[in-house]
Amino acid sequence: MVIEKKPLHSIFTAVPDRYDLINRIFTWGQDAKWRLKTARLCLSTQPVKILDLCCGTGDLAITLAQLAPSSAQVVGLDYSPPMLEKATAKAARVQLKAKLDFIHGDVGDLPFPDEYFDCIGISFAFRNLTYKNPNTPRYLSEIVRVLKNGGQFVIVESSQPPNKLFRILDHFYLRTFVRWMGTYLSKNKAAYVYLTESASKFYTAEELSDLLAQSGFNAVTVKRLLFGATAIHVAIK
């Protein structure tokens, strides 16, 4: 299988200082609540080894480590050094060192043995791995490889509202307010054109469930949030 060298890497190494604030503005503060829901779903099966895949500035990993029992071990992985620097600084402020590690790595070549994790969570990055990404099959097979049989893969990601009117409004919001404000606040137009185009054209919840089923997951359930503009998929290996 040919792996293209790090698609989107330049977008995610040019992280604006206000990255977290920008996300909060665009989701009207809901992104933190959605990560909390995701963390609770991850922890519902009492996993011990937990991976936050594409952890970015670390919010899901930190929430998982805060809520998990002391026996749990949480790892956040990302291929962007500036994202990991922010994550590490944030974790140091809440003193979670014993339970939480951040490591540099690529989803295409995960540095873990087969069936290592009881649970894998991913927040707002599965689209990056699967929207017009030539490495998607490799990423999915790596995720399946490092997850234990019976383990959960929990994905919170933008989705498509099933109602046509809400879908039109959602896409309008993305292509106007999010694109313009994102470009203005981050000074990185390419990043916000990519974000808004990929989110507008991304899979429906049903299509994403089919992709997961075809990739080796046995059961997939979906929870829709905000009229379906965001969804949490829980896939069991």
Beta-carbon contacts of 193 under 8 Å, excluding residues fewer than 6 positions away, are 179, 183
142: contact with ligand SAM by CB under 6 A: no
- Nearest Cα neighbor of 182 from 1, 8, 19, 3 is 19
78: contact with ligand SAM by CB under 6 A: yes
120: contact with ligand SAM by CB under 6 A: no
Residues 4-23 that bind ligand SAM (CB under 6 A): 8, 12
- CB nearer to ligand SAM: give 140 or 162: 140
Binding residues for ligand SAM, total number by CB under 6 A: 19
192: contact with ligand SAM by CB under 6 A: no
Residues 44-63 that bind ligand SAM (CB under 6 A): 54-56, 59-60
**Closest distance to ligand SAM from the beta carbon of 214 (Å):** 20
With CB under 6 A as the contact rule, the residue among 26, 102, 117, 124 that binds ligand SAM is 124
Residues 89-108 that bind ligand SAM (CB under 6 A): 106-108
182: contact with ligand SAM by CB under 6 A: no
- CB nearer to ligand SAM: give 68 or 143: 143
Q: With CB under 6 A as the contact rule, which of the stretches 125-133, 160-168, 176-184, 218-226 interacts with ligand SAM?
A: 125-133
With CB under 6 A as the contact rule, the residue among 63, 80, 196, 198 that binds ligand SAM is 80
Per-residue HEC secondary structure of the chain comes to: CCCCCCCCHHHHHCCCCCHHHHHHHHCCCHHHHHHHHHHHHHHCCCCCEEEEECCCCCHHHHHHHHHCCCCCEEEEEECCHHHHHHHHHHHHHCCCCCCEEEEECCHHHCCCCCCCEEEEEEECCHHHHHCCCCCHHHHHHHHHHHEEEEEEEEEEEECCCCCHHHHHHHHHHHHHHHHHHHHHHHCCHHHHHHHHHHHHHCCCHHHHHHHHHHCCCCEEEEEEEHHHCEEEEEEEC
42: contact with ligand SAM by CB under 6 A: no
87: contact with ligand SAM by CB under 6 A: no
Residue nearest to ligand SAM (CB): 56
Alpha-carbon distance 143 to 146, whole Å? 6
Contact residues: ligand SAM, CB under 6 A = 8, 12, 54-56, 59-60, 78-80, 83, 106-108, 123-125, 128-129
